Structure 1
Amino acid sequence: MYRPMIMKNTTKADRNRNKPCCLLMGKTGVGKTTLGNMLCGTKHASGASEASSTQLLFRNDARVGGNTFSIIDSPGTDSQTDTYKHAWQLRAGLTAAELNTIFIVLKYEYRYNKMVDHYLQVEQPVGTFTNRIVVLVSHMDNADDHAKEFAWICRILTETSPNIANIIFFSHKSDPSAIADLMYACMSHMAPKRLKISDEDFHVNFNLYEIRMGMRRSFDQYKKQVQEKFNAYSRLRDCTGNESDKDKDELFHAMIVQFKYDLDDLYQTFVDKHRQDMIEIDSHTLCVEMQNLGTQVCDQFTSSVTPLMTHNLFDKTNPRNLIKACPHCGLIWWNTENGGGATECGNRVSSLIDWRKDALFRYVPLLIADFRGQDHGRGEKSFKD
């Protein structure tokens, strides 16, 4: 049994004449509905289920603990379908009845910064009511040192949002009555209030939400495309068995360079699409994540290729890395840091891939087939995610 923990120990809960009411908010899969079922004895499907009942709003009374209060469960704030409908439902839940407390449910992550990002995303529609927010951190059982990690979580969340009323750390294995008592203790010190969210404020927040969700969908697509390209280039790498050592070296080098170019193109496509959005909401964190992912994947692919080459690709003293031939006129030129200028035929060798074009060209059909998930004529299937 995991005993729930609270950041600010509250005094004995005040007895309210009126039954307090709260709303649960959070991303899909963090445990909102599971928590509601634990406290209210209901059997609503969780947000991860196709039959998720949080596509609707439900209000139920807690049946555990020493005090009675109502809980409104809301749709996941990160829904990628019917987002406008879910936003309206969330607004209805916030404004339909007098609320004492807004509980934002976060899932415990060992990467604390990820929890902060999730909190900021969920808090967006209710940012003006921060003093009514209590954060519920679920999946306490995934933490190694509960007390130490909870202290760190409290620190980073209060630094992010100093007006947070309280923070509770719990697990689905915790005693439901203990969780309910801590929640009631927080609620009982907040006077009930009917929140007002004007149409203008709603649409501003919804538009920001839509922008962030659009960027997140593009980021997810970027990660998928990076994986597809990594699989395809890895397949291409393994199709060079019949080539001479020289041709293999040329091809491997070309693949490393072209792979990086392809990932750079994917990154630039994202930036071009969302440049104005990032300026408007002052959010460039996804770009940093994409750059980090691109670097890691490029390093991973390079590490898988360089051991197959007959020379050290990164040895600047090796003449094979310095002397090249123009693929157009055959002129020998030096590969210097500032570029090699123009050749006799007038074609400037502007990138490492130019002079390898012929070697790589023979493998283009394989690469295309791999992206399309087709057979390569060798009885082998292309890589899948």
Structure 2
Amino acid sequence: MAQTLIKTKLNLIPLKYKSCAVVVGKTGVGKSVLIGGLCRSNENFRNTVVHGDVTFCLIDSPGIDTLRQTPENWNLLRNALTAKCINTIFVIIKYDFSLERMLEDFNEIRRLMGKFSTRFVVMVSHWDAAQEPNEDFRKICSSFENICSNVIFYSMDSPKNDLAGLMYGCICHMSRDKLTISDEEFSKWKEQY
């Protein structure tokens, strides 16, 4: 069983409302597999995670790399970010031996939706591929030190309850807000990407 790690473990605070997070990343990083493994519902777009006495919502989004080839995915991404009040945006980055490639993948997402970067929590998937996990953990945490609020490391066989707890810990420490993307901003996103 792969270990699930987090840069900064946070206390779980029961919220009086059902919190919500959006999951973003490139195709193939494991967004849908993560959501499917954590959720008791399968609503495709909006899914519920139950962790002890708390529940939270995860919203799936299209792969960032599909936006150029599939124009309708732009609207799906916009809806994922703005349809409900959001606490957190989980940015899934697939573990790679090259830290530079991981940072490139993250920066592609940050360039696109940097307006919301204070809500970013990076999740490093495929953590079981790390050859030197202690050293990689330190380097990755250091690299993301000032550009996101936390970093979670997991594999597909990580204990789902542990992973849900770490995610909820991040969610419950962020305020819930209605994110907005004006038509003008949305047009710029599409032009710049």
Q: Scaled by the length of structure 2, what TM-score is found?
A: 0.94
Instruction: Please state how far the C-alpha of 1:64 moved relative to its aligned partner.
Output: 4.5
Distance 2:150 2:135 in 1: 17
The superposition leaves residues 58-99 of structure 1 with CA deviations (integer Å, 9 ceiling, x where unpaired) of 1010134552100000000101521x2111110111011000
Q: State the distance in 2 between where 1:18 and 1:202 align.
A: 29
Q: Which residue of 2 aligns with 1:81?
A: 69
Alignment match, 1:262: none
1:43 and 1:17 map into 2 onto residues whose CA distance is 24
Q: Which residue of 2 aligns with 1:24?
A: 23
Query: How much does 1:151 deviate?
Result: 1.1
Q: Deviations over 1:142-186 (max 9, x none)?
A: 00122221111111223xxx2411100000010001000000000
Number of aligned pairs? 192
Compute the RMSD of aligned alpha carbons.
Answer: 1.6
Helix, strand or coil for the counterpart of 2:79? helix
Alignment correspondent of 1:120:
107
Equivalent residue, structure 2, for 1:134: 121
Determine if the alignment matches structure 1 residue 102 to structure 2 residue 101. Answer: no
Determine if contact 2:24/2:60 at 8 Å carries over to the other structure: yes
- Assess if the C-alpha contact under 8 Å between 2:19 and 2:57 holds in 1: yes
Q: How does 1:352-367 map to 2 (within 5 A)?
A: none
- Aligned position for 1:157: 144
**1:199, 1:76 → 2: CA distance?**
21
Question: Once the 2 structures are TM-superposed, how far is the Cα of residue 43 of structure 1 from its aligned partner?
Answer: 6.5
Map of 1:301 onto structure 2:
none
1:173 aligned residue (151, 157, 164) = 157
Which structure shows the bigger proportion of residues in helix conformation? 1
The answer for unaligned runs of 5 or more in structure 1 is 45-56, 210-385
Equivalent in the alignment of 2:168: 184
| Corresponding residue SS for 2:62 | coil
1:263-308 per-residue CA deviation (whole Å, 9 max, x = no partner) reads: xxxxxxxxxxxxxxxxxxxxxxxxxxxxxxxxxxxxxxxxxxxxxx
| Paired residues of 1:40 and 1:64 also in contact (CA < 8 A) | no
Structure number with higher relative contact order (C-alpha < 8 Å, ≥ 6 residues apart): 2
Q: Is the alpha carbon distance of 1:179 and 1:66 closer, same or farther for their aligned partners in structure 2, counting shifts above 3 Å? A: farther
Identity of aligned residues (%): 36
Alignment-mate amino acid for residue 8 of structure 1: T
Higher fraction of strand: 2
Asked whether the equivalents of residues 62 and 70 of structure 1 are also in contact (C-alpha less than 8 Å), the reply is: yes
TM-score calculated relative to the size of structure 1:
0.48
Structure with larger Rg: 1
Q: The residue matched to 1:68 in structure 2 has which SS?
A: strand
In 1, Cα distance between the equivalents of 2:124 and 2:77?
20
SS state of the match for residue 27, structure 2?
coil
Contact kept, 8 Å, 1:25 with 1:77, in 2: the verdict is yes
1:68 maps to a residue whose letter is: T
How many angstroms apart in 1 are the aligned matches of 2:42 and 2:83? 23
**Alignment of 1:4 onto 2:4:** yes
Say whether the 8 Å CA contact 2:15–2:172 is kept in structure 1: yes
The Cα of 1:116 is off from its aligned counterpart by 0.6
List gaps (5 residues or longer) in structure 2. none
Contact 1:40 1:63 (C-alpha < 8 Å) held by counterparts: yes
Maintained 8 Å contact 1:106/1:136: yes
Q: Match for 2:9: what amino acid?
A: N
- Tell me the residue number matched to 1:373: none
CA distance in 1, matches of 2:113, 2:86: 13
Counterpart for residue 133 of structure 2: 146
Secondary structure at the counterpart of residue 85 of structure 2? coil
SS in 2 for 1:22: strand
Residues 23 and 61, structure 2, Cα contact 8 Å, conserved in 1: yes
Map of 1:303 onto structure 2: none
- Amino acid in the other structure paired with 1:5: L
